[in-house]
Amino acid sequence: MSCDGKEGGFPGSRLEDSSSSDDGAEDVPESMDHQQQAPECPYPSTQHDDDSWRDDDEVEPRNPPADGNMRVVASHYNELKESGRIERLKSRIFHMRNFNNWIKSQLISEYLTLIKHSQRMGDPMRVLDMCCGKGGDLLKWEKALITHLICTDIAEVSVEQCKKRYEDILRRAVKSKFAHKFSAEFFACDSTLVRLRERFKDPSLKLNLVSCQFAFHYSFESLTQADCMVRNAAECLQPGGYFIATIPDAYEIMKRLRLSENGRSFGNDVYNIEFCSDTDPPPFFGAKYQFHLEGVVDCPEFLVHFPTLVKLCRKYGLKLERKTTFADYYKENKETGRNLLQRMNGLETVNPNRIGNDEQYEHIRRYIKGNTSRSYGSLSKSEWEATTLYLVCAFRKCKNTWDAQGKPVFEFD
Ligand SMILES: C[S@@+](CC[C@H](N)C(=O)[O-])C[C@H]1O[C@@H](n2cnc3c(N)ncnc32)[C@H](O)[C@@H]1O
């Protein structure tokens, strides 16, 4: 597909079960645990100390208004085909997709746990899954024992599939005495254009968690769109509630771009990023690139200038609590999340005797220093390079008072 992102479909790679995820991974039921125990082989983390934007302080859109990229994005996701389990197993990014899904599980569990600790027994747990896709996180919500879920996405086909999956979960829960049941509502809309609360069944609803996984960056097409998306994330959150997201790490992208040969594109055999113009430094909004991920994504995306995101969030009472690259989040969570990572097949079991001189596993050869007596859990070099394009972030909703004009005054501590 060309860099203008106006053609072609969204090649899918899906499981046939009811839990596949649009970031390419899925919730894995406990019974699918067939990966052997394998110690994880660490892979060097990437650094980003390079501020790639102009260093003034303005949050000004320098790009023209939205040019229809959202239509392109929506049709990509709407056209996404479900593929069989066999096909998915053969994918070169099978483990990376599961690894990304594990990161989401850890993040969701971390913040739901924090919220639960501040609640009383029996308090409701209400979640907005903004840009929910086909419902890849539904089993996570079920396992976390939430009470109400709102799912929305720009792609109507995805929302329909998400709703069907929820109904399947509910049917199973009704049959089983012990399964957890939660209520849910679904609607399709553009979160960068529409005020979501007006589409809620109860617009006065207070949420505990807003989750936006692998999608928030689409809003950085323009200030207006990003502002709308942040307001949607913030305005229904209770004080003490959280907005959590996984987004591409724009610093890492700019760093790799500047190291690239042609200064416009870079990647490997599983992913590619190509900038549509050679704006360097990039603008705060509308810094567009074409993202291609092996068999899963071929879509226009936008850099998220993180300090600008933090400013927008503050405007709506959201205080930054965490910004961590996937590489570091993995390091932080690999002990506590080890069993889940294994169950989710988030790492490939690599036998050092079988890797020969394959440069994809060079890091393992270096790590084991000749000891070939056991297997290691790892990702291939290409998969690792792709997953380390991302970061996790979390913002906490602050309490507020009201000024004489009726505007909220947030207490940021
Ligand atoms: C990579 S998928 C992630 C889906 C899901 N959050 C997950 O983790 O499985 C990105 C999703 O963002 C949705 N999306 C992109 N732009 C959007 C917008 N402006 N409003 C609502 N949804 C949007 C797409 O339709 C797609 O389902």
Task: Quote the CA–CA distance of 229 and 212 in Å, as a whole number.
Answer: 10
Instruction: Give pLDDT tens digits for 222-280.
Output: 999 999 999 999 999 999 999 999 999 999 999 999 999 999 999 999 999 999 877 77
Examine residue 230 and state whether it is found in any structural domain, yes or no: yes
How far away, in angstroms, is 351 Cα from ligand 1 center? Answer: 36
Probe residue for ligand 1, chosen from 15, 93, 100, 153 as the CB with the greatest number of ligand atoms within 8 Å? 153
77 burial type by CB count under 10 A (0-12 exposed, 13-18 middle, 19+ buried): buried
How far away, in angstroms, is 17 Cα from ligand 1 center? Answer: 20
On whether 351 is known to bind a ligand per the annotation, the reply is no
| Beta bridge partner(s), residue 378 | 348
Examine residue 325 and state whether it is found in any structural domain, yes or no: yes
Instruction: Give pLDDT tens digits for 291-310.
Output: 999 888 899 999 999 999 99
Probe residue for ligand 1, chosen from 154, 221, 247 as the CB with the greatest number of ligand atoms within 8 Å? 154
User: Which tokens hold the place of 99?
Assistant: 């690894």
CATH of the domain at 206: 3.40.50.150
Examine residue 56 and state whether it is found in any structural domain, yes or no: no
Asked whether the bond before 281 is cis by omega within 30 degrees of 0, the reply is yes
On whether 111 is known to bind a ligand per the annotation, the reply is no
Examine residue 73 and state whether it is found in any structural domain, yes or no: no
Atom of ligand 1 lying closest to residue 131 CA: 22
Examine residue 301 and state whether it is found in any structural domain, yes or no: yes
Assess whether the C-beta atom of 26 lies below 6 angstroms from ligand 1. Answer: no
- The ipTM assigned to this model is 0.99
Please tell me the total count of domains within the chain: 1
pTM above 0.90, yes or no: no
Confidence grade of residue 40 (pLDDT, cut at 50, 70, 90): low
Reduce the secondary structure of 136-174 to three states and give it as a string: CCHHHHHHCCCCEEEEEECCHHHHHHHHHHHHHHHHHHH
Q: What percent of the chain has pLDDT over 70?
A: 82
Assess whether the C-beta atom of 21 lies below 6 angstroms from ligand 1. Answer: yes
On whether 153 is known to bind a ligand per the annotation, the reply is yes
Predicted pLDDT of residue 413: 76
Examine residue 341 and state whether it is found in any structural domain, yes or no: yes
Probe residue for ligand 1, chosen from 20, 26, 101, 131 as the CB with the greatest number of ligand atoms within 8 Å? 131
367 burial type by CB count under 10 A (0-12 exposed, 13-18 middle, 19+ buried): middle
Instruction: Give pLDDT tens digits for 128-160.
Output: 999 999 999 999 999 999 999 999 999 999 999
How far away, in angstroms, is 215 Cα from ligand 1 center? Answer: 5
> In whole numbers, what is the pLDDT of the chain averaged over residues?
84
Least confident of 73-87, 207-221, 243-257: 73-87
Predicted pLDDT of residue 314: 97
Examine residue 193 and state whether it is found in any structural domain, yes or no: yes
Examine residue 284 and state whether it is found in any structural domain, yes or no: yes
The residue nearest atom 18 of ligand 1, judged by CA position, is: 190
Task: Quote the CA–CA distance of 319 and 309 in Å, as a whole number.
Answer: 11
Q: What is the domain extent for residue 374? A: 15-43+87-410
Assess whether the C-beta atom of 245 lies below 6 angstroms from ligand 1. Answer: no
